[in-house]
Structure formats: structure tokens, C-alpha cells
Structure 1
Amino acid sequence: MRRRRLFVLLGAVLAVAAAVAFAVSAAGGVVGSAAETATAYFRSWEDGDVAAMSRLVDRPPEDFRAWHEAMGGALGVERLRLEPGKVRSTGEETAEVPFHGVRELEELGEWPFDATLRLVVRDRRWKVDWRPDTLHPLLTDGRTFHVVEVFRPPAELVTSEGAKIPQNNYAEAYLQPLRDLQEEPEPGYALVLRTPGEPEKELLSAVPDGDVQRTTLSRPVQAAAARALDGRADTAIVAIRPSTGEILAVADRLKDNYSAFKDTFPPGSTFKVVTAAALLRAGLDPAAQVACPGTYTIPFHRAFRNDGEVARGTLSFLDAFAYSCNTTFVKESIDRLAVPDLPETAARWGFGRALPTGVGGFCGTVEQTDDPDLRGANAIGQGSVVASPLCMATVAAAVQSGTWRVPRLVPAEAAADIDGAGSGPVELDQGVVAGLRQMMRAVVDHGTAAGAGLPADLSGKTGTAEVPGGAPHAWFIGYRGDLAFSVFVKHGGAGSTGALPIARRFLNGL
């Protein structure tokens, strides 16, 4: 009985062995299929199960896990999606599966790729014939991938139109402080391929867009101002939009670190705009008849003279302004203005104020004094009167608009954040402004700026400021449409010969 059971059991084992042998034989001696191995490998790869993948690989290299870690966590891969194609036979015991993959990188988003999974029969089983380019087709010849930080450039300063600021603009001393105030840019990231002996190649990047910071500069006005100063040293032009106070141009070639915004100089006869405003306010009409002798002596005090001691006899106050009669302005100021009148008028026109442009600025000063000699000198922009080129541009702008406004080089909110809010607009006496417009127009029509080749619709005022130890400073201020400006030439001589040619070149370049 026991022998019979033994024969039955042996028969069953032999039957199973025969069935297995038949199955293996029927499959050419290979257990399983290439498709089954590929499916299992792709599933384990998507799951991040490196151990299971390794068991499906034919003789996996020692750095198999390291390669997958380098292509996973080290690159910030949050998810891997694989889309296998159809298994293709490449030989009796080899096959391949083309596939599409997408790695989702934490810092860079989706990174798609296409590669091939190769398979081979080893020990009668289908195995993955793995090599680094299975992970990505570029991983050959020692190449590696890396995610690196990259920084966008600092915010670019642009004109009010959003255009690049012209080169050789003579405005860098005013633009650089704005760049220095910018916050450190946030980093971005890039995926790079490194090949031994070659420069790294960027494959994918996510860098914050470079910001732009608009200034108030106008590209055509800035370009015209800069070109007007080519070949001219110790000179500055400041242009302003009267309706807003926006600085449209600043071209500064002043030597020795002088600034057209912050440094002050005697403004000479351009200050007669302010003195005329005080006299008009005191009741002197533009048409009123006044004397313009070659010299005038304040009773018991000093004498003042016109340029060349030219005497013009009796003429209108408007023409005395047009011809820049020093003697008229000294006499009328002493006779008609109280001691505080001129400094108070100057204060309404910006003097004594900081100018929060976004890069700082200062207008100028006028000393209040009861000394007749100093009062007379102040009336013609000498004595204690000093002003910056920026300040005198705001004076011209205020005549054009009827309102004195704080000038600014950046949008109002940015200027307030940097320099403080400053003072608000100052509405001026419209009767006074109307008189000044007539008088400044007369300067170009038949006065000291006549025949200089300036545009016919320009209004302005020349200035020659005497300074000790050197040639006079040359000035010209003016406005045309919604543009006001000042031209200053340090030690440039008379305003009509030193500043007017530069103003003409500037205006003709617009």
C-alpha cells in the first residue's frame, strides 16, 4: 500500500515538471515576456521603488540608486509620469520600449523627455538592460543635470514711455542713486546640463521677469538735452513738464562733482522773474513807464549799472524786463518793496525748499535784509541770492502753468517714499503770472534773446551772474508749450552768448 502511494506521488511530481517543461519549451525556454517586465519596471519607477526596479535590471550597477536619487530629489522632482509605447522586438532575445516621460520639478515645472527602455533575456528571464540614458537620452559621455540658482538683473530704469534711456545721456549721476535704492532681486532657477570640458548648457529656466522702474525722463527730450551739451563742459540743462512737475531731462556736465539739482549759484538776471513777480504784486503794471539809466545809485549807498552802462531812458516795465535793465529793477525794488516782500515772493516760487525729486534737490535762498545795498543786489539775482539750475527750471515752469510744483524724477509715490512728500503745489497770483508771460515773451521777441534763432513761440529770460575770481555764469530759462527748462553754463560769460546757443541747439533737437 505504501509503495502504491509513493508511485502516485512521484507520478504527480513528474506530471507538474512535465507541464512546466512544456510551458518553458513552448515559450522558447524563457519565463514571462518583455511586456510584463517593462510594465512592472515602469510601475515601480513611477512609484519611486528603486529596490523593485533594481530586481528587474540585469546586473544593476553599484550606483543605480545614486543615479535615481540624482535624477529625483536632487533635482526637486515632485512627480514622474511615464507613457510607454509598444514593445518592439530587436532580436531573438532583445526588445525595447519607447516611452514619453514628464518630470514635474519643484522650481521649474514640467520637464518632458523621450527615451527608450531596453530589455534583454538573461537566465531565461526578461530583464531591463539599464544604462544612464534610460533616465534621459542626454545622460551619455559623463553628462549630468543640475538645478542652479540664477538671478535676474536689477530693475531697469526706463523713460516715461518705457523706452531705454539714451546712451551718453549725461544723467548717470542722477540715475545711479535710483539703481542703488533697488531691492536685491529674488533668485530664479535653471536646469543645466554639464558636459566634461564644455560650458554648461541651460535647458529650462524659471526666472522672475526683470522689473522696470519708470523715471519721468522723456526719451526725445533727454536725447536733445544730452546732444546739446556734446563738446560743452561745465554746463547743465534741466527740463520740466510744467503741468505735472515731471523732470523730462537732466543733462549735467558740471565739473568737480557739482550737481544741477543740489548746488546753487547766483542766478543773475533770470531771478528778475521773481523780482518782477514781487513788483507786479506790489502794483507795478507791465505797461507802466519806468526809467532805465545807464547807472543808478541808491541814495547814500552803492551804484548799480547796466551791462555796458547802456541807458534806455524811459520805457515800459515790460521792456525794462526784456532788455534786462539792472538800474530799473534796483530802483523799483528799493522804492516799492518792503524788506520782506522779495524773500516772501521767492518762497512762493520755491526758494528755501528742499526738492524731493527722488534723488534729492534744493531750490535756493534769498536773505532777508534791511541793507539797501544787499537789497539792490538781490533784486538782480546777485548779493545773497543763489539758486540751482533745477530751481530756475521750476520758476520757468511756474510761469507757464500758473502753479509752482515740486519737480520729480520718478513717479510721485516713489519720490515721496524716497525723499518725503515735500510741499504741495502753490497756486500763484494769476494776474502776476499773466504779466510775467507777456514780459518773458518780449525777451525773445525783441529783448536780450531776440535774433538768437530760437523758436518763435518761446518765452524766456537771459541771465549773466557776476562771480568773484572768474568769468560770469551764463543762464537762460524759458518755456514752450508744456516744456520748461533752464540752461546753466558755469563761468560761461554773458547769458546771450554763453547759454542761448545751447538752448537753441536743445530746442532745435526736440
Structure 2
Amino acid sequence: MGNRRRVAERRNTRPAVVGGVIAAVVGGAGLAAYALLGGGAAAENGTANSVAGQPRTKSVKTGPLSAAEVTTTARRFLTAWQQGQVRQAAAATDDSAAATALLTGYTKTARVEGVTLTPGPRTGDKVPFTVRGTVTHKGVAKPLSYESALTVVRRAGDGEPRVAWSPAVVHPDLREGDTLVTGEAGTPPVRALDRDGGELTTKKYPSLEPVLDGLREKYGKKAGGTAGVELRVVRGKESKARKLSDKTLLELSEGTPGTVRTTLSPRLQAAAERQVAARARASVVVLKPSTGEILAVANSSRGFNTAFQGSLAPGSTMKVVTASLLIEKGLASADKAHPCPKYFTYGGWKFQNDDKFQIKGGTFKASFARSCNTAFISQAPKLKDDDLTRQAQQVFGLSLNNWAVGVPTFDGSVPVQSQAQMGASLIGQGGVRMNPLNMASVSATVKSGVFRQPYLVAPSVDGRTLATARRTLSASTLAQLRDLMSYTAAYGTAAEAMAGVSGDVGAKTGSAEVDGQKKPNGWFTAYRGDLAAAGVVQAAGHGGETAGPIVAALLKLGG
């Protein structure tokens, strides 16, 4: 027994040999101390936890992961993956079935060979790593390189450390159900042009990446190009539900691109890129109210087009829609007295204003300009549950899922709700969800007097039909709504951001509270002449201070 114990001890204390490099994990050392260079790795040996004649007991591990647990688990997974030992790599995760499927496809369908995985320094339970390999198909080979990361967690049931499985571990662009495929592309590439005929590229406009992917998916086969051979992300059911497009990761042989002209303004697009680059999690859209043409779209994050596909509570920018409803219903009038108490209780919820302010003897215009929540929620008892939904759909063209922009979009959602949730919807919370494209369209509708569906590619290109609204606002309601937005831009919560924006202007700020965030999402929507724009900066604070300067800077440039 003693000899067996000494052998077990020797086996479990020797350093692991990784591709000829001895890698020892000591105390809090991170994975940066070694690199996976190919070749064999020593198998991890289990240790007996029972003594002959005694029952085997097993305790569940709990508590924070140690540095050694994180580094050892990451090393085990990365070494097995690098060696093509799919079963062993999958066993190092907390979802071996899903890991096996994707890692098997990495070789068989993605055709990635000669993989080298180089971990970086550990940060807590997370380990970044670099992937390098070669993609080979029918005699054509190209190098592949990208960054990824993994997180180690305790497995449910026994508390053993395992890699938390996610498709993003294999490649950061992968989501649940997506696959990596190398072969002839199903869709030819496109050469996208701006409104002046200049080429739109991700090198020039980094945040257009998802837009260009969407243009290819929509117009690749219609634009007259021929497909090449490439490694691409093929979207699964979940991603398609989110309207995510297939994504090219590496071209092995170029196809012949077709040409698609967009409505983007090179001057405004470049300016929008600069504006969002200065802030984290910022998105903005600029429209032409007289036509619906999209002149600029930009996001701080390149991976997801929040500006077109985001689904976020718009906060008080939604009060533009609500104000039009209240005026039409005779429940508010710009220059007439309107209540703005500190609190208003509806449906069992006690609503309040920012900093619990109140306006005594003020007008509806004053309440709108200062963004008084209770001025709107106080009218909830006089409204039907579906009034706001019908207003958004029939006047502003929202929440019908029928926009044909030319790339995937989320067209806003204003569900029918009741009691407290209905009251919250009036101020852009509750179940209301929007993105900058939707809210720029709201300002454009106010400016032009009629809803014109935004579009990125002219409908004449493919004969598609644009969405329309069922009705327009009366002249009186429209005049009051413009007055409210103009007053807010000059004297209300939007005044600081809109200072220096001259001409026929209107604006509305918004702040949307989000569970788990210390700061709200900041919103801003505005128009100037024949430009309308909206932006959001997530988890950054009030809209007038965050999204406002972005929108105002673009409006100052003119059309």
C-alpha cells in the first residue's frame, strides 16, 4: 500500500510536458507561463479517494476557484483541443455533448488544421487565448488567427472545475446553434457603395461590419456576383430569430462581387463613426425625414448592430409618442395647465420623477420639457390598455415587424399592457422596446408630418414594398408636438446638448433604468431641418449628457 501511495504521489506531482515544454502551475501563477506548441501532453491521473475495506466518500467542492484549478482546467481543455482529442477536450467542459459537436465540426466542416492555442494571462476565472491554424479546401490553404477566451466554473453536482461551455469559446462570433463551414459560399459577395458612389469598407467604417453582412445576405444573389470559397459562420435557429446574418471569417478564394448602392452619406457616416468611437456602448442613426433615407448608422461595438437591431427600453424619448396620444385624446394641450406631482400611484406602483421634483401650476409644455414622469402616468386611468400600442402602430409605423430597410432590423415593440405596466409604457419603460433607428424615425415623423419607413437601399433596386402608417396626426396635434420638442431643445433637458444647433429644431431626452445597471441607458432623439437622428449610450447616465452630444454633433453637419 505504501509503495502504491508513493507512486501515486510521484505521478500527481510531476510537471506536465506540453509540446516539449515543461509547464508547471505554482500557486497563483497564470497561464502566461507556458504556451501550447503542439505535441503530446501528459494525461491527468485520478487519485484514489478510498481505502481498501472502507466505503468511498466524495465531497462536493465549493467556494471560489483557486488559481491552480483555473489554470489546470484551461490547460487540460486547450491541450486536448490542440491535439485533436475531441473527447478529452469536451470532457473538460460542463457540456460535453455540445462541445463534442462543435469541436468535431471545427476539423470536419470548418477544415481548420494544425491548430496552435496560446493562452494569455489569467484574470480571475477567465483565460484569454490566441488561436492559429490553417484552413484548407481543395488544394487552397490560408492561415487563420483570432483571439478567444474561456471561463472556468464549478460543475453542478460535484463542484469540479470545468470550462463553461459556450460556442463563443471556439470562436467569439459563434452563438448557440451556429456552425463554422468552409466551402463555396452560398451567397456571392457584394461591393457596397455610399450615396456618392464610394465603396463602403470595414477598414474605412469599422462599425458597418454587420450592415455589410446584411447587405450581402439580402442582395448577394441579386447583384450579379459569383461566390468564392470561404470560412464562414452559418447562423442557426436562435441567431436567425435575432436576424443575425451569416458572417465571412476568411476568404480562401475571392468571388466576383455584385454592386449595391446604399443611401449612406460618406460625410455623416464618417462623423458618426468618430462620435461613437469616443464612448463605450454607443449607437446612433441619422435619417432624412423627407424621404426616409438612412444617412448614417454607427455602433461602438462591431459585433452587433444595436442601432438597427437593439431591443432596449427607450425611456422618456417615448414621451414623444405618448404626448401625441394625450393631445389627440384631449388629455393634454401644450399651453394648458397639466399636473406634475412628485408621485403618482397606478396599478399598485408608486411612480416618481427624477430627484422627486414637481411642477406646481405648470403647463404640459413645461412637463414635457423637464421630462416629468407623473405628468404622463397621471393620465393612465383615462386610457385604454391598447391606446399606446395603436398610436405607435397607426401613426408612427412601429411595432408591426414589417419594415423593409434592406438589412435586418428590429422595428420596435409596444405591447398591449395593463395596470402598472401600461403606466410604465407611457414613459418608455414596461414592455416598450426600441433602438436608435426606431427613435430617429419618430423624430422624422414629427418633422415631416408623416411616417416614411427608413431604408438603406432604395426599394427600386429589388421592387420591395415599404411599410406605411395607417394615418397621420391632425394639423393641430402636429403643431403642438413640434412646439413641445422645439421648447425642449431650447429650454428643457435637451438645451445643453442642442446649444449651437440652429434652425428648425426639436429634441427629447430619455433615461431608461435597467435592472442590474448602476447607471441608466441615456437616450436622445432630435431633428434639424431635413435631418433626424437618435442615439443611445448604454449604462452611462442621462441622455442629455451622453447620447445628446453625439446626436447634436451630427445634426450640426447638416445634410
Q: TM-score range by the shorter chain?
A: 0.5 to 0.7
Specify the structure having the higher radius of gyration (Cα). Answer: 1
* Cα deviation, residue 481, structure 1: 0.9
Is the 2:537–2:547 Cα contact (8 Å) retained in structure 1?
A: yes
Ranked by relative contact order (alpha carbons within 8 Å, sequence separation 6 or more), the top structure is: 1
| Closer, same or farther: CA 154–351 of 1 in aligned 2, 3 Å | closer
What number of residue pairs does the alignment pair up?
331
* Counterpart contact for 1:289–1:316, Cα < 8 Å: yes
Query: Of 155, 158, 182, which aligns to 2:193?
Result: 158
Q: What SS does the aligned partner of 2:507 have? A: strand
Aligned pair in 2 of structure 1 residues 342, 185: CA closer, same or farther (>3 Å)?
closer
Q: Deviations over 1:281-340 (max 9, x none)?
A: 101221120121222223x722111110111212111111111000111102333x2222
SS at match of 1:238: strand
Map 1:341-360 onto structure 2 (within 5 A).
Answer: 341-348=387-394, 349-354=396-401, 355-360=403-408
* Equivalent of 1:327 in 371, 374, 377: 374
1:173-184 superposed matches below 5 A: 173-180=210-217, 181-183=219-221
The answer for the alignment partner of 1:478 in structure 2 is: 526
Corresponding residue SS for 1:279: helix
1:255, distance to aligned residue in structure 2 (A): 6.8
Amino acid at match of 1:238: V
Is the CA contact (8 Å cut-off) linking 1:356 and 1:416 kept in structure 2?
no
Secondary structure of 2:306 counterpart? coil
SS in structure 2 of the partner of residue 462 of structure 1: strand
Give RMSD over aligned pairs.
Answer: 2.3
Q: Partners in 2 of 1:254 and 1:312 — Cα distance?
A: 40
Alignment of 1:36-51 (within 5 A): none
* Partner residue of 2:494 out of 434, 449, 452: 449
CA contact (8 A) 1:225 1:249 kept: yes
Q: 8 Å contact 1:161–1:219 — kept in the other structure?
A: yes
Aligned with residue 440 of structure 1, among 458, 474, 485:
485
Residue 444 of structure 2 is matched in structure 1 by: 397
Q: 1:364 to 1:211 in 2, by over 3 A?
A: closer
Q: Which residue of 2 aligns with 1:429?
A: 473
Q: 1:305 aligns with which of 342, 346, 352?
A: 352
Match of 2:283 among 228, 236, 243: 236
Post-superposition shift, 1:186?
A: 6.8
Q: SS of 2:404's equivalent?
A: coil
Would you say the 8 A contact 2:277–2:300 is kept in 1?
no
1:291 is aligned, of 328, 339, 350, to: 339
Equivalent in the alignment of 2:205 = 168
Q: What's the offset of the Cα at 1:250?
A: 0.5
1:272–1:379 CA contact under 8 A, matched in 2: yes
2:126 aligns with none
1:415–1:376 distance in 2 versus 1, CA, 3 Å: farther
- Structure 1 position 169, deviation (Å): 4.8
Summarize the Cα distance change of 1:463–1:415 in structure 2 as closer, same or farther, 3 Å threshold.
farther
Provide the secondary structure at the position in 1 that maps to 2:545: helix
Q: Could you tell me the TM-score, scaled by structure 2's length? A: 0.56
Assess if the C-alpha contact under 8 Å between 1:358 and 1:416 holds in 2: no
Give me the whole-angstrom Cα distance separating, in 1, the residues matched to 2:546 and 2:226. Answer: 49
Cα contact 2:482–2:506 (8 A) shared by 1: yes
Shift of 1:395: 0.7
Residue 231 of structure 1 and its aligned partner are, at CA, apart by: 2.5
> Is the 1:357–1:415 Cα contact (8 Å) retained in structure 2?
no
Mark the CA change 1:415 to 1:478 in structure 2 (over 3 Å): closer, same or farther. farther
| Structure 2 Cα separation of the partners of residues 467 and 415 of structure 1 | 40
Matched, 1:410 2:457: yes
- Shift of residue 422, structure 1, vs aligned partner: 4.5
1:61-460 paired onto structure 2 within 5 Å: 155-165=190-200, 167-180=204-217, 181-183=219-221, 185=225, 212-254=259-301, 257=304, 259-283=306-330, 284-298=332-346, 301-335=348-382, 337-348=383-394, 349-354=396-401, 355-371=403-419, 373-414=420-461, 416-417=463-464, 421-430=465-474, 431-452=476-497, 453-457=499-503, 458-460=505-507
Greater CA deviation, 448-457 or 326-335?
448-457
CA contact (8 A) 1:296 1:331 kept: yes
The Cα of 1:506 is off from its aligned counterpart by 2.7
Q: CA deviation at 1:185?
A: 3.2
2:225 partner letter: P
**SS of equivalent to 1:261:** helix
Deviation, 1:222, is 1.2
Distance 1:343 1:321 in 2: 20
Instruction: Give 1:229 shift.
Output: 1.4
5+ residue gaps in structure 1? 1-152, 188-208
In 2: Cα distance, 1:212 partner to 1:375 partner = 46
Q: Which residue of 1 aligns with 2:41?
A: none
5+ unaligned residues in a row in structure 2: which ranges? Answer: 1-187, 228-255
Q: Deviations over 1:208-240 (max 9, x none)?
A: x98642101112221221121122221111111
- Residue 245 of structure 1: how far off its partner (Å): 1.0
Identity %, equivalent residues: 36
SS across alignment from 1:264? coil
Structure 2 contact 412–435 (Cα < 8 Å) conserved:
yes
Report the 3-state secondary structure (helix = DSSP H, G, I; strand = E; otherwise coil) of the residue aligned with 1:352: coil
Higher relative strand content: 1
Is the contact made by 1:158 and 1:165 (CA closer than 8 Å) also made in structure 2?
yes
Change in 2 beyond 3 A, CA 1:159/1:257: closer
Distance in 2 between the 1:212 and 1:303 partners?
A: 55
Shift in alpha-carbon separation, 1:412–1:425, aligned structure 2, 3 A = farther
Indicate how the Cα distance of structure 1 residues 481 and 169 shifts in structure 2: closer, same or farther if over 3 A, else same: farther
Deviates further, 475-484 or 311-320: 311-320
Contact 2:299–2:306 (8 Å) recurs in 1:
yes
Distance 2:226 2:525 in 1: 44
Distance in 1 between the 2:532 and 2:378 partners? 30
